[in-house]
Every structure is written in structure tokens, then in C-alpha cells.
């Protein structure tokens, strides 16, 4: 999918430092610092929300995104289902979904304080607790505010990139609200930043694929909708 000889590897820790504490602190500090700068800048200059993501990708990661599918981002979609690998996703996914709102756990606000403030300023993040009622409330808010959002249907990070069965909960809420979805799969996101291996990479090409638009209104029962989503996901999720 990419030429390995062109990828430059920058490990954040040595072999002796395997607890990852330095790596986590480094990542948190850098992200918060950059978002603080863009947060201050936004009070004086009009920014586009994903300006910081594009800046990180181009100047810090020195990487780029390449769309490989014939399909493109469908602006008629209400929700974008995105694959979740590592924390590098939070740099790439807002770009490939055109600034769609993210749904995150409240712990993120504590860990990435200025990052969360920056997102809140643009109304591009909503926080939930770990229960269906909270997620349903957030979906209703997105609908009322006519806000598109991205959702990780695998239920968590999948660093091993295994083909998983999608979670029912969020998709059930999406079906109940009769929303349109599009699946967005990107490969090599874990090369941008991998907190599991304590490594970062530069000069990476991110390959992105878009599915057809799937309208939940076209399915009489939830199981038919879920099966179609799972089938399309599996067809796109090909590990090379």
C-alpha cells in the first residue's frame, strides 16, 4: 500500500524506557500546546476547524491523504462510520469526514484539555458517559443542531486491525433516528502515531476509501440495516 523505504521512523522512547510514560506525556503536551496556540489564534483570526489537523498532518507528521475509492465523501450522510486504530485517528478522521463532530468520553476532556476546548469552541465534540442513554441524547442533539458526526462502530481502538463484528448500540440509535450513513475506512493511520508501540512515523501516505450512502429508511427492520452495514464494512476492510 505504500513504499516502506520512504517511511521514516521516529521512536519516542528507547528500549530501556518501555513504560510509555514519556510517550504519553509527550503526546499530551504537544497536542495541548498546538491546540492552545490555535485556540488563541481563533479569537483574532477566522479559522476553519480542521486547519489544525491539516497543519499537524502536513508540517508535524509530514504526511498526506490519498483517496483510493471511486466514491467520495457524501454530504448527504448524517453519520460517518470510521475505523478506529490508534490515537492517530484523531488527526486524520476530521479531515476525511470534513470537520464532522466527534463523540468522545469525558475522560478525553481531562487528558486533552486545550484540544477539547478548541473542539468545543467550534462545536465539534460532544462528550458522553458509557451508557446507551447518553449516546442517544448526543445523537438527538446532533440531529437538532443539524450536525454531522463520526462514529467508531468497533467500540474501541483496534490496533491489531482485526476484522471485528460491529457494535449494536450506536447503530441501533442511528437506525431509530432514521439517519443516512457512509462508511469511511482509512489505512496507515496507526503509522502516524502508535501509542501501543510508542512510535511515531513521518512521510506516511494515508489511503482512504468511501462507501456508498446507506439510508436506514430503506430497511424495515434493524437487523437488515445492521447486516448491510456489516457486509459493506467487511468488503471495505481488507488488510493488505
Give me 184's grid cell.
469511511
Q: What percent of the chain has pLDDT over 70?
A: 63
Q: Is the pLDDT of residue 10 over 60?
A: no
Q: What is the pLDDT of residues 125-181, one digit of tens each?
A: 666 665 555 666 777 777 777 678 888 888 777 766 677 788 887 888 889 889 999
- Total residues found in the chain within this entry: 240
Give me 10's grid cell.
521516529
List beta partners, residue 206: 65
Q: For residue 207, which of 166, 237, 164, 163 has the smallest C-alpha distance? A: 237
The top-scoring range by mean pLDDT among 11-20, 114-123, 205-214 is 205-214
Place of cell 465523501: 73
CB 136 within 8 A of CB 173: yes
Amino acid at each position: 500500500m505504500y513504499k516502506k523505504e520512504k517511511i521514516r521512523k521516529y521512536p519516542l522512547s528507547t528500549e530501556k524506557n518501555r513504560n510509555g510514560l514519556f510517550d504519553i506525556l509527550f503526546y499530551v503536551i504537544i497536542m495541548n500546546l498546538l491546540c492552545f496556540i490555535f485556540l488563541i489564534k481563533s479569537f483574532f483570526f477566522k479559522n476553519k476547524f480542521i486547519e489544525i489537523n491539516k497543519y499537524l498532518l502536513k508540517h508535524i507528521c509530514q504526511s498526506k491523504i490519498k483517496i483510493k475509492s471511486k466514491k467520495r465523501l457524501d454530504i448527504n450522510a448524517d453519520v460517518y462510520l470510521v475505523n478506529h486504530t490508534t490515537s492517530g485517528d484523531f488527526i486524520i478522521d476530521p479531515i476525511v469526514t470534513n470537520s464532522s463532530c466527534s463523540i468522545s468520553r469525558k475522560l478525553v476532556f481531562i487528558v486533552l484539555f486545550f484540544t477539547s476546548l478548541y473542539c468545543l469552541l467550534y462545536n465539534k465534540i460532544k462528550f458522553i458517559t458509557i451508557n446507551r442513554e447518553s449516546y442517544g441524547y448526543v445523537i438527538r442533539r446532533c440531529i437538532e443542531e443539524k450536525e454531522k458526526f463520526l462514529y467508531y462502530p468497533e467500540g474501541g481502538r483496534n490496533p491489531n486491525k482485526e476484522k471485528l463484528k460491529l457494535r449494536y448500540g450506536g447503530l441501533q440509535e442511528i437506525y431509530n433516528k432514521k439517519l443516512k450513513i457512509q462508511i469511511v475506512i482509512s489505512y496507515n493511520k496507526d503509522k502516524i502515531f502508535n501509542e501501543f508501540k510508542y512510535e511515531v512515523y513521518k512521510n506516511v501516505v494515508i489511503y482512504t476509501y468511501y462507501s456508498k450512502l446507506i439510508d436506514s429508511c430503506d430497511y424495515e427492520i434493524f437487523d437488515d440495516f445492521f447486516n448491510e452495514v456489516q457486509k459493506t464494512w467487511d468488503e471495505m476492510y481488507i488488510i493488505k
